Amino acid sequence: MLNSTNFTPQQIFPTGLQRRIQRNGPNTEQPQRRERPNRFRFNRTALRNLSLLDQVLFAQFGQGPLVDVPFATMHQAFEHFAAIQPAAIAVEHQGETISYGELERQANRLAAHLAALGVKTGDHVALFLQRSIPMIVGILATLKAGAAYVPQHIGVAPEAHLNYVLDVANIDVILTISRVQDQVPGVDGRSLIPIDQFMQRPFANETEFVETFLPETAVSPHNTCFMIFTSGTTGKPNGVQVTHGNAGNILLTAPGNLGIQPGTKVGQILSIAFDMSVWEILGCLSNGGTLLIRGKDFMEVARRVDVIIATPSILATFDADQCQNVQTVAVAGEPCPRPLADKWGAFCSFYNSCGPTEVTIVNTAEQHFPWKEGLTIGRPTPNNTVYVLDENLQPLPIGEVGEMWAGGDCVSKGYMGNEELTADRYRPDPFLGSGRLMFRTRDLGKWTAEGELVHYGRTDDQVKIRGFRVELDSVSAALESAPNCKRAVALKLDSRDLVGFVSPRTVDVDAARQAVADQLPYYCTPKFVIDLAELPKTPRGKIDKRLLLEMAKAHDAAQENLPEVSAPDSMQQTSGRLKTANIARPT
C-alpha cells in the first residue's frame, strides 16, 4: 500500500492499441495540486512517554516539509521536458547522443510494441543489459507501457540470480542489447527484445510515434515504477517494489532533485541494479538535464559533469582536483568518511544522505560544510518522517541512540512475493496514523541538538560492500553449499571486501569461493576464503567472529606487504599457524 497524497488520474482511453495514442500531444503544463498543510500532525498519544519538550522536538525534528510533487509519474515528468525542449541532448554515451525528442519517439514506439506483446499497467519488464543509450529507451518505454522495470547488469549478475529474478518478478518480456543477448538466461517462453536493433527500424513517416503513448489503463503514483533486488536474510534476494509516487517524492523535490535543470550534466556511473542509479537516470531526465553515461573510464565522465551521485567508496577513487567543474555531489549507500566530505564540500554542494531501498533511495539528506562540527546524514526529506525508537517501538528522547524507522511518502510497497517479511519490516505508523506505514531501517541513529541525524551503524549483520547492501548470512549460506562444508562464516573486511571461513579443513576453498560467485552478485564474493578444522567459539558457544576477523586482517596485511599483524594466541591454538591454512584468493 502506497503512502501517498491525492493525485490527478489520467484519462483512460478505450481499448485497442491504435487508440492508445494521445491525440492532442502531451500536456506541457505542470498539473495543479490542492494546497496541503505545511507540517504533519503527529499523534500525541504515541508520544505520551516523552517529556513535553521532547514531544515537541520529536515532531519538529522528525519530519521534512510538506510540499507538492509536480508530476504524478516519472515518465510524465520526462514527457514534459521532451515537449518543451525536443532538440536538447538527453543522453550521451561514448560519443553518441540522443535528443529529448528522439528519445521520446523511440520510447513511444517501444512502449507500443510492449503493449502489443501483452504488457499492461502493473506488469514487470526485465532490463538485462549494460550501460547504453538503448538502456534508457528501455526504461522509459517500460514506464510508458504502465509496467515497472526490473534492472540487472549482464556480465555482473550470475545466471542463477538472473533466473531467480525472472521467476519472482513474473517476467514475460526481457529487454536487452544485442551484444549481450546470448548471455541472457531464461528466454524460453519469454519475449527477448534487443533494444538497439529495434531502434534501428525506420519510422513510417516523420510523425509516427511523435505523440505520447498511453497505456489502456492509466498509470498512477500507486503503480510500481521499478523493482530492485536486495540481499535477503534467507539467502534469497528480495524484490523491493518502488512506486512512481515514491520516486517522484525524492527526485522531483529539493534537495533530492539536486538542482538539476535543463543544461545540467549528470553522470551515470553506478550499476543499473543499484537503486542509486535511478537517482542518476530518472533524477536527471525528469528534471530536464543531460545524462552522461560512463564507459570504462570513470574520470572521463566525472571531469565533464555538473552533478555526481555515488557511494563514498566510488567517489574516493575520483581525483577531486580534476573535478572542479562539479557543482553538486550526493553520496549514500554507506558511511562517508569525514575527510572525503570535507574535500568535496570545499568546492561544491556536498550532500551526505542515507536510506535503504525500501524507503526509496534516500530519505535523509543534508548539505555538508567543512566548517561544521560533525558529519551527519541530515534531516528527513520532503513529505517524509524519521523516528528514533527503542526495541519496543517507543519514541526515544532527543539525543538517545535508537533504531531509525522511516515514514511518509518514501515508504515503498514492500517485497514482491514475500508477504511475511513485508509484514515484519513494514508496520502501521502510530505517529501519522491514517493507514500509513513505517519501515524498519535497522540503522541506529540519534538526533543532534540542531535536529540532524547521526548514524551509528547497523542493528544486525547486514553490511554495505562497495555501496551495496549484503546480508552476511546469505554469503555464509552460499559458502556452506560447497561440498563437504559443515560450517561457514562471512565477515566484512573493509568497505570493499568480504572474507570467508569454512570448516572442516577438507573443504576446497576455491570451490567455496566459486559457490558464492555462482549464486550471488559479484560484490558478495569474498576476497579470500580460509579453511579451519573448527571455527572458534565464545564462552557462550557462539562463533567467535572477533577472532576470525583478526585472523583475516593478519592475512590481508601480510598479502599487502604491510607491517605484520599477528593472529591472536587463541586463534593460533584453534587453527595452527596462519601460513598453514588453505586460502582461496582471486585469480
Residue 371 is part of a domain; what is its CATH number? 3.40.50.12780
* Spatial separation of the C-alpha atoms in residues 440 and 426, rounded to whole Å: 7
The three grid cell numbers given for residue 212, joined into one nine-digit string: 505520447
Same-domain check for residues 258 and 116: yes
**CA distances for 26 relative to 80, 82, 140, 169, angstroms:** 7, 9, 15, 31
Same-domain check for residues 466 and 373: no
Q: Which of 253, 244, 255 is nearest to 220 (CA)?
A: 244
Residue 561: inside a domain: yes
Residue 334: inside a domain: yes
* pLDDT per residue rounded down to tens, the chain (587 residues): 334 333 333 333 333 434 333 434 445 555 555 556 788 999 999 999 999 999 999 999 999 999 999 999 999 999 999 999 999 999 999 999 999 999 999 999 999 999 999 999 999 999 999 999 999 999 999 999 999 999 999 998 899 999 999 999 999 999 999 999 999 999 999 999 999 999 999 999 999 999 999 999 999 999 999 999 986 544 688 999 999 999 999 999 999 999 999 999 999 999 999 999 999 999 999 999 999 999 999 999 999 999 999 998 889 889 999 999 999 999 998 888 888 999 999 999 999 999 999 999 999 999 999 999 899 999 999 999 999 999 999 999 999 999 999 999 999 999 999 999 999 999 999 999 999 999 999 998 999 999 999 998 777 666 889 888 787 877 888 898 899 988 788 999 998 999 999 988 999 999 999 999 999 989 999 999 999 998 887 543 457 888 999 999 998 888 776 554 444 444 444 443 333 356 665 55
Residue 419: inside a domain: no
Same-domain check for residues 467 and 376: no
Residue 517 is part of a domain; what is its CATH number? 3.30.300.30
Residue 387: inside a domain: no
Same-domain check for residues 341 and 469: no
What is the number of structural domains in the chain? 2
Same-domain check for residues 150 and 293: yes
Residue 564: inside a domain: yes
DSSP labels, 200-230: TSPPSSTTTTTSPB--SS---TTSEEEEEEE
* Spatial separation of the C-alpha atoms in residues 8 and 32, rounded to whole Å: 9
CA dihedral defined by 171, 172, 178, 182, rounded to 10 degrees? 80
Same-domain check for residues 338 and 468: no
The three grid cell numbers given for residue 190, joined into one nine-digit string: 519469454
* Spatial separation of the C-alpha atoms in residues 291 and 131, rounded to whole Å: 12
Same-domain check for residues 116 and 219: yes
Give the residue from 332, 358, 381 where a domain finishes: 381
Task: Give the end-to-end CA distance of the chain in Å, rounded to a whole number.
Answer: 46
Same-domain check for residues 494 and 376: no
Same-domain check for residues 467 and 356: no
* Spatial separation of the C-alpha atoms in residues 315 and 318, rounded to whole Å: 5
Confidence (pTM): 0.80
**CA distances for 556 relative to 189, 409, 527, 553, 577, angstroms:** 47, 44, 9, 5, 15
Domain that holds residue 327: 84-381
Residue 269: inside a domain: yes
Same-domain check for residues 372 and 473: no
Residue 311: inside a domain: yes
Q: 523: how many CB neighbours lie within 10 A of its CB?
A: 19
Give the residue from 381, 397, 418 where a domain finishes: 381
Residue 265: inside a domain: yes
* Spatial separation of the C-alpha atoms in residues 99 and 91, rounded to whole Å: 7
Same-domain check for residues 160 and 272: yes
**CA distances for 448 relative to 336, 401, 451, 576, angstroms:** 18, 10, 5, 48
Same-domain check for residues 110 and 222: yes
Q: Is there a contact between 4 and 416 (Cβ–Cβ < 8 Å)? A: no
3-state SS, residue 309:
strand
Give the residue from 354, 381, 408 where a domain finishes: 381
Amino acid (one-letter) located at 533: A
